[in-house]
Amino acid sequence: MDEPIKIIHFSDTHITPRSQFMVQDFNNTVNSINSTPHDLAIFTGDLTQDGLIEEFELASKMRKKIISPKMYWIIGNHDSRSGGFEVWEKMIGPREFHDYTNDILFIGLDSCIPDRDGGRFGREALDYTKKILSKYSDAKLKLVGFHHHLLPIPKTGRERSNAIDAGNMLSILLDNGIDAVFTGHKHHPNVYKVEDTIIISAGSSSSYKTRSGGKRSFNYVEITPEKEIKVKIQDTTGEEIKTELKTITRRFRMVDSTGGKWLRMAQLSGTDFGASSKDQSELFKKGMELVESTNPDVIIHCGNLTEKGRSADYEVAVQAFAPYSDKLIFCPGPNDLRGYGETLLHKYFDTEDTIEKDESSFYVLNTSAPETEIGVVGRTTQNRLVRYVYHTKMQEKDKFHTVVMHHHLIPIPNTIETSALEDAGDVLRMLTDTEVNLVLSGHLGRAYCTRVEKTAFANCNTISSQKTASIENSFNLIDISTEGAIVVSEILVPSGFRRILGIFPGN
Ligand SMILES: [Fe+2]
Ligand SMILES: [Fe+2]
């Protein structure tokens, strides 16, 4: 690979003889593709509207108009409807495949569940991906494509119909140094850099359904041998809408050793006071001994302080945290708001949403609502936060900015994505655009961290809840260096065993 690779990425054509198919936009896209020199073209699913035979017949004719040196076709949830996945295999090609040519590896996956909008990779596809990636670990360029989005996409309304095991796929892709991931499904173009992997989503080229008044579009992607990735989002006539430039550094530089420790945070969740389990108080005691032994500057509780938000639960919890009150920052979880919990929360805790500590700003963002595990920020709070965070960030560039919330924004391995934040797409975009340094969450009982653009995300396990998804309880220890580097470790309770989850150099 000595020359830049030029890729056409288009998606969600939704071909049908009925009016949902915007035939003029499809023809424009074909003309644009045919007049753009490129090395390969990737289609990321929803070729047809309903997976019907008449639609596949029409699509087969229409796709022949595309002139491309190499094309990869990936199945979407609409193609899988009505048994369409069988027709796909007969008329379009395999649902799962890989190709290794000229040092370039491409893996195409089926992320669909027939007759469901939401997706799932499943154990076999995850194992297949790992197997192929280890076989071709020397490939100079590693590309993967599938239909469902991996990270929440902005401007597409409620976060839904994602792949339930997106966290497992994300960790495989990041661990194996994938250069670029191509997805569709949400009908809105978007590009994110996650650590050293670029995740590219295409809009729809010809469906009646567009999002937030956006144009029908496709992507033109150029990848240089130095791994500079340019994504040009174009309308169907080839007119540029937006261009994003990302660089994959693959730098092995760890944290700069000349920078000393500046701030240490203990991040925990799921203390579960009032729990019926007899082990809760023992685990909490042991957990807090470990927290104390690390001597943190600040203790951040990411929610589910109590089991059911009862008055007695709050009283025990508040008493248990009394010795740490000057260090504690608390953000409620869904359990804390049950029943009368919301009123009790305001009785016991400061509801200020910005806390200044040691030249660092913490923004508490309540994502929990009573009687549901599903999180929401809401448009009003989003607007306030955009104004507030953005304004503060711009004014105070030397400060370290941390957002504390309960629900996670990035899919977590070994969990099922069923109670994500409703407006995760817009919130994630807002936080990464404003370059918040760190986002802390404590949902689903599993520790994980990663970085999207310049923002690090850390989710913690429960410290003393017995309903945790993990085998052992734990909390996270986060060290910020004077250079702005972030080191996230997980400390297991009760063993005290420590493992590093992530190291992110300063921006
Ligand atoms: Fe679609
Ligand atoms: Fe779709």
CA of 494 to the centre of ligand 2 (A): 44
Name the band, by pLDDT with cuts 50, 70 and 90, for residue 395.
confident
Query: What residue type is assigned to position 214 of the chain?
Result: G
CA of 254 to the centre of ligand 1 (A): 41
Domain ranges of the chain: 5-247, 261-504
Express each pLDDT in 102-132 by its tens digit: 999 999 999 999 999 999 999 999 999 999 9
Which among 62, 69, 54, 60 is positioned nearest to 29, based on CA atoms? 62
Ligand with an atom nearest the CA of residue 119: 2
In angstroms, the CA 445 to CA 448 distance is: 10
In angstroms, the CA 454 to CA 292 distance is: 30
CA of 11 to the centre of ligand 1 (A): 8
In percent, how much of the chain has pLDDT > 70? 96
CA of 161 to the centre of ligand 2 (A): 8
CA of 77 to the centre of ligand 2 (A): 5
User: What pLDDT, on the 0 to 100 scale, is given for residue 469?
Assistant: 55
CA of 185 to the centre of ligand 2 (A): 4
CA of 211 to the centre of ligand 1 (A): 11
In angstroms, the CA 318 to CA 202 distance is: 48
Which among 101, 99, 118, 120 is positioned nearest to 110, based on CA atoms? 120
Q: Are 83 and 54 in contact (CB under 8 A)?
A: no
Tokens 């920052």 belong to residue: 329
SS3 for 435-463 is: CCCEEEECCCCCCEEEEECCEEEEECCEC
Average pLDDT rounded to a whole number, residues 28-48 = 98
In angstroms, the CA 246 to CA 129 distance is: 24
What class is the 5-247 domain?
Answer: alpha beta
Query: What residue type is assigned to position 296 of the chain?
Result: P
**Do 5-247 and 261-504 have matching folds?**
yes
Strands 328-330 and 498-504, by their bridges, are unpaired
CA of 228 to the centre of ligand 2 (A): 29
CA of 324 to the centre of ligand 1 (A): 50
In angstroms, the CA 145 to CA 349 distance is: 46
Ligand with an atom nearest the CA of residue 161: 2
Q: Are 476 and 456 in contact (CB under 8 A)?
A: no
CA of 203 to the centre of ligand 1 (A): 9
Query: What pairs with residue 440 in β-bridges?
Result: 404, 458
CA of 164 to the centre of ligand 2 (A): 14
CA of 278 to the centre of ligand 1 (A): 49
CA of 150 to the centre of ligand 1 (A): 15
SS3 for 236-292 is: CCCCEEEEEEEECCCCCCCCCCCCCEEEEEEEEECCCECCCCCCHHHHHHHHHHHHH
CA of 230 to the centre of ligand 1 (A): 24
Which among 112, 206, 195, 213 is positioned nearest to 151, based on CA atoms? 195
| 212 φ/ψ sector (left φ>0, alpha ψ -120 to 50, else beta) | left
For the cut 60, the answer to whether the pLDDT of residue 256 exceeds it is no
Express each pLDDT in 136-157 by its tens digit: 999 999 999 999 999 999 999 8
CA of 35 to the centre of ligand 1 (A): 25
Residues 6+ apart with CB under 8 A from 224: 4
Q: What is the CA radius of gyration of the chain?
A: 24
CA of 367 to the centre of ligand 1 (A): 28
For the cut 60, the answer to whether the pLDDT of residue 135 exceeds it is yes
Instruction: Indicate if the alpha-carbon torsion angle 255, 256, 257, 262 is positive or negative.
Output: negative
User: What pLDDT, on the 0 to 100 scale, is given for residue 174?
Assistant: 95
CA of 46 to the centre of ligand 1 (A): 5
CA of 232 to the centre of ligand 1 (A): 20
| 189 φ/ψ sector (left φ>0, alpha ψ -120 to 50, else beta) | beta
CA of 209 to the centre of ligand 1 (A): 8
CA of 100 to the centre of ligand 1 (A): 28
Average pLDDT rounded to a whole number, residues 305-325 = 94
DSSP designation for 214: P
- CATH architecture for the domain at 261-504: 4-Layer Sandwich (3.60)
Ligand with an atom nearest the CA of residue 117: 2
Q: Are 182 and 9 in contact (CB under 8 A)?
A: yes
The secondary structure element, H or E, covering residue 473 is: strand 473-481
For the cut 70, the answer to whether the pLDDT of residue 253 exceeds it is no
User: What pLDDT, on the 0 to 100 scale, is given for residue 359?
Assistant: 80
* Structure tokens belonging to residue 461: 């396990």
The secondary structure element, H or E, covering residue 493 is: strand 486-493
CA of 12 to the centre of ligand 1 (A): 4
Ligand with an atom nearest the CA of residue 202: 1
In angstroms, the CA 304 to CA 282 distance is: 17
In angstroms, the CA 205 to CA 219 distance is: 10
User: What pLDDT, on the 0 to 100 scale, is given for residue 262?
Assistant: 87
Ligand with an atom nearest the CA of residue 15: 1
Average pLDDT rounded to a whole number, residues 44-70 = 98
Ligand with an atom nearest the CA of residue 111: 2
CA of 188 to the centre of ligand 1 (A): 10
CA of 50 to the centre of ligand 1 (A): 10
How far is residue 332 from each of residues 172, 277, 289, 429, 449, measured CA to CA in Å?
31, 21, 23, 23, 20
Q: Are 15 and 48 in contact (CB under 8 A)?
A: yes
Find out whether the peptide bond into 494 is cis, omega within 30 degrees of 0: yes
Query: What residue type is assigned to position 496 of the chain?
Result: G
Ligand with an atom nearest the CA of residue 188: 1
Please give the order of strands across the beta sheet that includes 180-183. Answer: 97-101, 104-108, 141-145, 180-183, 197-201, 190-194, 448-452, 455-459, 438-441, 400-404, 360-364, 354-357
Average pLDDT rounded to a whole number, residues 375-400 = 80
Ligand with an atom nearest the CA of residue 118: 2
User: What pLDDT, on the 0 to 100 scale, is given for residue 2?
Assistant: 84
Ligand with an atom nearest the CA of residue 148: 2
CA of 375 to the centre of ligand 2 (A): 23
Average pLDDT rounded to a whole number, residues 464-474 = 80
